[in-house]
Amino acid sequence: MSRGLTADDPAEAGVVAKLSTLDRFLPVWILAAMAVGLLAGRFIPGFGEALGAVAVDGVSLPIALGLLIMMYPVLAKVRYDRLDTVTGDRRLLVASLVLNWLIGPALMFALAWLLLPDLPEYRTGLIIVGLARCIAMVIIWNDLACGDREAAAVLVALNSVFQVLAFGALGWFYLAVLPGWLGLPTAGLDVSPWAIVRSVLIFLGVPLLAGYLTRRLGERAKGREWYEDRFLPRIGPFALYGLLFTIVILFALQGEAITSRPLDVVRIALPLLLYFAVMWAGSYALGRAVGLNYARTTTLAFTAAGNNFELAIAVAIATFGATSGQALAGVVGPLIEVPVLVALVYVSLWLRRRLFPARTEAAEHTPSGARE
């Protein structure tokens, strides 16, 4: 899945020529999926409501299915016997914790108050988005940008642990305590610990366990060469099928709300755009500053910039209601995040050619398309 490669280099030209139609026009398919979802939710009577009704304990089954299909092939590609090389990299782990749990929430808090001082519901919704660190879709963005799969698995698992432990406390701090210290209006957040644990178990635990067992059993039965050369290429495309399916369902669920309030969407989008740009660029710069290679710098940037929109939307709906401004802000999150992070995949691949000479990068992390 070496998206974004160009034919500037003769060696790359052969790879580009072999890309499937799905690979070559990935941004087109993603934008088309967003449009289909929005239009379906807006103009097909009862479509969004019907999708929303297919849920168990507040978890949308169509979205859960799409995310599981999306994440499983990528997590099946992870070489779990190499995870110790990631856990021993303190630079990466410390940088990720600082970016995700100190800088990220603080930045979203500041942007929400600076740009939405007169819209308290949207402001609260954005702060909740900033607290929900990404544990799902970031796996795809990292893989498309040829990031370090093993590092992504470790950082996502680390985020999951901190999400369970810190989400409620940080919500209380940024919505009730810190605004009070600054003389600003406060808000409450009623977060069920089970809702957070459930999100982690469903959107990370299930595909991670499936991917791990698939590799262990597949290599034991047929060997690593068969597993990586024959099995992985067969399941690889399902990651993008799952991504496109998830995007259609997600936008169909809120198509009417988004298209009926375009000006509100624009107001919410501005701080989100700034947030993604600052977090990604700052993380990339930090990775370079501490001496990480391309693959791990890329993984650090995407895991810090992405957010767990599933959890943010669920918390906003549970606390403030499905038709609340807080819920709309959570829904606009992926509306902005998906195209922005797709664009950043291409920026990352461009930076790879400019800032990271070919010397050892090809050996350290060959494009996933070449390995498939």
* DSSP, residue by residue, 244-313: HHHHHHHHHHTHHHHHH-HHHHHHHHHHHHHHHHHHHHHHHHHHHHTT--HHHHHHHHHHHH-B-HHHHH
Domain assignment of residue 98, yes or no: yes
Q: Return the ∠ at Cα 325 (arms to 319 and 330), rounded to 5°.
A: 75
Give the span between the Cα atoms of 129 and 306, in whole angstroms: 10
Per-residue pLDDT for 175 more than 70?
yes
> Are the C-beta atoms of 23 and 370 separated by less than 8 Å?
no
Q: Look at 17 and 141; give whichever has higher pLDDT.
A: 141
Per-residue confidence (pLDDT) for residue 76, from 0 to 100: 93
Give the domain CATH number at 194: 1.20.1530.20
Give the span between the Cα atoms of 57 and 198, in whole angstroms: 10
pLDDT digits (tens, 9 = 90+) for 95-147: 999 999 999 999 999 999 999 999 999 999 999 999 998 877 788 899 889 99
Mean pLDDT in residue range 338-359: 85
Mean pLDDT in residue range 47-74: 80
Domain assignment of residue 74, yes or no: yes
Q: HSE (CB half, 13 Å, CA atoms) of 30?
A: 20
Per-residue confidence (pLDDT) for residue 10, from 0 to 100: 43
Per-residue pLDDT for 286 more than 80?
yes
pLDDT digits (tens, 9 = 90+) for 327-340: 889 888 888 888 89
Domain assignment of residue 366, yes or no: no
Domain assignment of residue 7, yes or no: no
Residue 225 banded pLDDT, cuts 50, 70, 90:
very high
Domain assignment of residue 274, yes or no: yes
- pTM attached to this predicted model: 0.82
Residue 12 banded pLDDT, cuts 50, 70, 90:
very low
Is residue 359 classed as helix, strand or coil in its secondary structure? helix
Domain assignment of residue 138, yes or no: yes
CB atoms within 10 A of CB 285: 12
Domain count, the chain: 1
Write out the residue range of the structural domain in which residue 88 sits: 20-356
> Are the C-beta atoms of 2 and 370 separated by less than 8 Å?
yes
Domain assignment of residue 260, yes or no: yes
Per-residue pLDDT for 21 more than 70?
no
Give the span between the Cα atoms of 328 and 44, in whole angstroms: 20
Q: Can you read off the two tokens belonging to residue 148?
A: 């370090």
Domain assignment of residue 125, yes or no: yes
Residue 359 banded pLDDT, cuts 50, 70, 90:
very low
Give the span between the Cα atoms of 122 and 72, in whole angstroms: 33
Per-residue pLDDT for 16 more than 70?
no
